Structure 1
Amino acid sequence: MIVFSILAIIVVLIIGVILFTGVRIIPQNMVGMVSVLSKYQKQIEPGLHVVVPVITHVDRVDLAQVPIRLSEQSVISQDNAEVIISLSLNYHVTNPYKFTFENADSVKSMIQQSRAHLRGIIGTMDLNDVLNGTERINAALSRELGSITDAYGVNVDRINIDTIQPTPEIQESMNKQINATREREAAIARAQGEARSIELTTKAKNDALVATAEADAKAVRLAADAEAYRIQKANEILSQVDGNYLAAQNIDAFRDVAKSPANTVIVPNTAIDALGDLKVAGALLGTNKVDQPVKPLSD
């Protein structure tokens, strides 16, 4: 009896294990690919399913989006510059059958294709375009991968270049070029500043010279106007003086001349005639010395 009981328990356990292996639970966002005796039979949706135990195998396929970060990759640009690029992408399974049965490793194949296309794209670009063209590279990779990943039963939802780092040798060369460019731009800026300073200084000097010349010209004009005004007023005064006053002025002038050490004084006839018109002329001329006769100047 004891042996029979033990055998019964063993049988029950075996049956229980067999039955348990026939139960499959498919979580949400997954599907089950059912194979019987290694041959695909059907696809089951999320939930509890009972299958034939032992001979049935169920592969779970995750339909949710999966992120992958690829390891760094060394690529060569069109101008033979080496850069290190790190890449990440997001994908999801679109065809569980292709993903499971038509490719041994769809994810690995997708990664290899991503690396190959990245090398091809970078190889057509110069280093400057590579460093400044991440969006362009991302778009080109998405187009290339979109045309081939359908064969793997997946779709690349997003691909992104995380870093693009030139090799130390290339970086050193770039730094030298950047420094040379900065020095050249600084020299140009200094030269332009000096030229501007000279231009402003020259303009200031020219403006000062023009202002000085205009001031001098104005002063000359004012002096000329003053002299003209003086002459005009003198002429106006002289026009109002009678002839006797002018004759008297002449007598005073002749008298001063007569007092000089000269032995002879020459007087025009017109002056003598004018002197004769004055009643006081004789008295005035009587002051001259006898040895200094006044001789009329003949015409």
Structure 2
Amino acid sequence: MLSFLVPLVLVALALFLVVNVIKIVPQGREFTVERFGRYTRTLKPGISILTPFVESIGRRVNMMEQVLDVPQQEVITKDNVSVKVDAIVFIQVMDASLAAYRVDNLMYAITQLAQTNLRTVVGSMELDEVLSQRDQINTRLLSTIDHATGPWGVKVARIEIKDLTPPADITNAMARQMKAERERRAVITEAEGEKQSQIARAEGQKQSAILQAEGRREAAFRDAEAREREAEAEAKATAFVSEAISKGDVNAINYFIAQKYVEAFGDLARSPNAKTVIVPADFAGLTGTVAGVAELVKTLGGADGGTRPAVPPTKPPRGA
């Protein structure tokens, strides 16, 4: 019987030694080693051997980055508005021994530290600043908490405000304010568009007036030029006729008489009060006058380069 118990004791002792002496540390973890209850060293990921009956594993520390949820709490802002706020904290243990022996219940300690500083930061700001400056709140919280957790061997990577909930009446007031602001911007935009439209119309009218004035000036200039040329032509014609009259040419006299005759008869025909136009009995004599005028024109046309042809005397019209 004794011979049977001895091997069992030896096997049990071997298993005990294997379990308590050979330690395998997984990746992302670190184990602290205690010798008679006192910290001596830290085991890194891999296999390690402890001194039997002397050394033991103290704390198993997670070295990976962890997400810590900060519970929601009510915070009173600087302008006495109560808001509900919560956050999340990203932490990573950098020194396993400090995290294991410098603070008890590391996660709870960081949670309480985040809640306290969150109340401090949000309470020092007004509601509008809290709602619009989340990045600033995150930065201030990160700086404060990271500085406080440094002695614990913990690095705070990020802090994010997850939710900010103001009271319902404040939310409704903000919605009305936003609506009023948008309506004000719409009115300003519409007024600005109307202003630009009026400016464009005024500019168009200005350009139109300028173009019309330039057109009238050009037309007046051309009218004046036409009248000048007409006056020059009339002066030349008068000079030729006067010269012909001075030489005793009766056709010249007939020219003036026929011109006045035709003008007077035309005015009589165009008169709005004249319902009946009476043709003179000697109107046929106007034919001879016109013929005399034609001869005079031929005479004046040949005055530049040759001898003027003889113009037979034309009988003036009756009553002329």
The TM-score range, normalised by the shorter chain, is 0.5 to 0.7
TM-score normalised to structure 2 length: 0.64
- Structure 2 equivalent of residue 138 of structure 1: 138
1:175 corresponding residue in structure 2:
175
Asked if structure 1 preserves the Cα contact closer than 8 Å seen for 2:42 and 2:97, the reply is no
How many angstroms does 1:161 deviate by? 2.9
2:168 is matched by which residue type in structure 1? Answer: P
Unaligned runs of 5+ in 1: 257-282, 289-299
Residue 205 of structure 1 corresponds to 205
Distance 1:248 1:9 in 2: 170
Q: Kindly tell me: are residues 168 and 27 of structure 1, through their superposed partners in 2, closer, same or farther at Cα, counting changes over 3 Å?
A: farther
Equivalences for residues 142-181 of structure 1 within 5 A? 142-181=142-181
Shift of 1:184: 0.5
Cα pair distance change 1:150/1:214, threshold 3 Å: closer
Q: CA deviation at 1:113?
A: 1.3
- List per-residue Cα deviations over 1:184-239 (Å, max 9, x = no partner): 01101111122222222233333333333333333333333222222211111222
Q: Take 2:231 and 2:128, find their aligned partners in 1: how far apart are those partners?
A: 85
Find the aligned partners of 2:222 and 2:256 in 1 and give their Cα distance: 37
| CA distances 1:91-118 after superposition (whole Å, capped 9, x unpaired) | 2223333322332212211121122222
Q: 1:108 to 1:116 in 2, by over 3 A?
A: same
Report deviation, 1:41: 4.1
Please, which runs of 5 or more residues in structure 2 have no aligned partner?
262-314
Residue of structure 1 in register with 2:30 after alignment:
31
Are residues 1:107 and 2:95 paired? no
RMSD of aligned residue pairs (Cα, Å): 3.8
**1:125 deviation in Å?**
3.2
8 Å contact from structure 1 (residues 26, 45) kept in 2: no
Letter in 2 for 1:171: T
Given that 1:36 and 1:55 are in contact with CA atoms closer than 8 Å, whether structure 2 keeps it comes out as yes
For the 8 Å contact 2:94–2:155, the answer to whether it is kept is yes
Q: What is the one-letter code of the residue matched to 1:43? A: R
Contact preservation (8 Å) 1:110, 1:152: no
Equivalent positions of 1:1-299 (< 5 A) are 19=17, 22-23=20-21, 25-28=23-26, 29-35=28-34, 39-46=37-44, 47-50=47-50, 58-241=58-241, 242=243, 243=246, 244-245=248-249, 248=253
What SS does the corresponding residue of 2:124 show, helix, strand or coil? coil
The question of whether the paired residues in 2 share the 8 Å contact of 1:26 and 1:32 is answered with no
The 8 Å contact of residues 99 and 152 in structure 2, kept in 1 or not, is answered as: yes
2:91 is paired with a residue of what secondary structure?
Answer: strand
Q: Which amino acid aligns with 2:23?
A: I
Letter in 2 for 1:67: V
Q: How many residues were matched structurally?
A: 255
TM-score, scaled relative to structure 1? 0.68
Distance 1:34 1:219, change over 3 A: closer
Closer/same/farther in 2, CA of residues 217 and 67 from structure 1, 3 Å limit: same
* Identical aligned residues as a percent: 23
Q: Alpha carbons of 1:83 and 1:203: their partners in 2 closer, same or farther (altered >3 Å)? A: same
